[in-house]
Structure 1
Amino acid sequence: MDEISRHTEDKEMFRPAMANRSLQSCTVIPVLIYDDVADAIEWLCRTFGFTERLRAGKHHAQLTIGDGAIMLSDSRSGQEFDSPDDAEFLSPRSKEVKHEILVNVKDVNKHYKNAHSRGARILRKPKDCMFGERQYTVEDLGGHRWTFSQTIADVDPKEWGAIKARTE
């Protein structure tokens, strides 16, 4: 068994060794880059239903939704960079998609109506998918793509052509 396979079998590897009040205890926390973190906090909370967990100055924040979390970081555009590596902290460029975030919600139609009424750029209206989800996709004020999903049926992955990778 190779090193990566051996580690992914060990689920304890993905649990924090101790609690830290400065960081949400999720296994995966996306960090999204925005030109204006304060505007992004307000917009994401109002439009998508996030809750602000903490803020560090004008350049960093943590938001929660359900049992998930995201972090926001300043793009530092137009500022002096602390190191050459910091130059990588730039907002997504127009028409360049590098990621999409999926968030499970209880009522996708209600969520869609709220996002639409608050000016979210709708990329795909709610639709039922063959894998048992009803989803819609939007773009936020920073150019990040979000898909909001509601489970509407328990569908065997084989029914739509997926193959289960391993047995839990």
Structure 2
Amino acid sequence: MPSIAIPCLRYRDTPAAIDWLCEVFGFACQVAVPGIDGAIAHAQLTLGDGMIMLGSVSDEGEYGKVLVQPDEIKGRQTQTVYLQVNDADRVCERARNAGAIILQEPSDTEFGSRGFMCRDLEGHVWNVGTYDPWKPEDLFATNS
């Protein structure tokens, strides 16, 4: 089996985050393991052939000791998630209507894709666009 990279995110209100991500970006909740006091110990959301994993914020264990939430570091990020979509404008409007902060309005890139950037309800930054990284020939064909 090949290696696969899967982004992992933590949320204070993970059930609300799951609902939001499914409604706005079109993820499907594959599994959500309940934790203590309404927390989610582990969740897997799928979109096409991709997946993200979520969990509730916790200071327990080594994992909880190395992660902070965006609001704890003035909204800064150490990484973001790129989400490939067919219609960036439509997804941007859904995100805006669902309370996302749009950091970059939809725009065309020099290599022929269209995308935008937003913060979700807990401040995680999402880059959303039509660029399909599985088709790199598209990138090189427009830059030649």
**2:79 alignment partner, one of 99, 102, 112:** 99
The correspondence of residues 88-167 of structure 1 with structure 2, limited to 5 A, is 88-92=66-70, 93=72, 94-151=74-131, 154-156=138-140, 159=143
1:38 aligns with 2:18: no
Higher share of residues assigned strand: 2
Contact 1:62 1:69 in 2 (8 A): yes
3-state SS in 2 of match to 1:60:
strand
Q: Closer, same or farther in 2 for the Cα pair 1:135/1:55, shift >3 Å?
A: same
User: 2:47 and 2:55 mapped to 1: Cα distance?
Assistant: 17
The residue type paired with residue 156 of structure 1 is F
TM-score (norm 1): 0.70
Task: Decide which structure has the larger Cα Rg and report it.
Answer: 1
**2:49 alignment partner, one of 56, 59, 67:** 67
2:37 corresponds to: none
The residue type paired with residue 127 of structure 1 is S
Contact 1:54 1:61 in 2 (8 A): yes
3-state SS in 2 of match to 1:142:
coil
Aligned residues with identical type, % of pairs: 32
Which segments of 5 or more consecutive residues in structure 1 lack a partner in the other structure?
1-13, 17-26, 161-168
3-state SS in 2 of match to 1:59:
strand
What is the RMSD of the two structures over their aligned residues, measured on CA atoms? 2.4
Structure 1's consecutive aligned runs of 4 or more residues displaced over 4 angstroms after TM superposition are none
